[in-house]
Amino acid sequence: MPRTNPRPVTAKYGTIVALSDALEMMERALIEQSVTEPEMLGSALTERNVADPDEGIDAAMDYRIPRDASTEMLRQARRCLHAYIAWLLDEALPGHRSWANDEVQRAVRRLVELEMAERAARPRLH
């Protein structure tokens, strides 16, 4: 008679969410978000601060995305983030793993937010 193994087995499982599903959820959240007091949310992203070489990356990472943002401004902010992510991966990550890994993840999340805002800002033909 075969004996069963009494040791407990721990199984890990994960949920895989398709990128398109995540993008749709974020787009719905952006559209449904109602901002009544924008001044309480901090500085808004503008074409001027995205174009400023000293402030562009900080603005793209941390400034609030306005509802009426132009697609060109959002594209410029995405370009700033791509440059920042490249710098993180090439220079910061090898020497500063303690914080660079988290910063890469934060930058990628912000990149998705900008993509969703750009998608919402595009004119739609129905």
Average pLDDT over residues 102-114: 93
User: Can you tell me the distance from the alpha carbon of 48 to that of 67, in angstroms, rounded to the nearest whole number?
Assistant: 17
Lowest mean pLDDT among 10-14, 30-34, 51-55, 113-117: 10-14
Phi, psi dihedrals of residue 11, rounded to the nearest 5°: -115, 140
Which has the higher per-residue pLDDT, 125 or 88? 88
Place of tokens 């303690």: 98
Residues 42-84 have pLDDT tens digits of 788 899 999 998 899 999 999 999 888 899 999 999 999 999 9
User: Can you tell me the distance from the alpha carbon of 8 to that of 100, in angstroms, rounded to the nearest whole number?
Assistant: 37
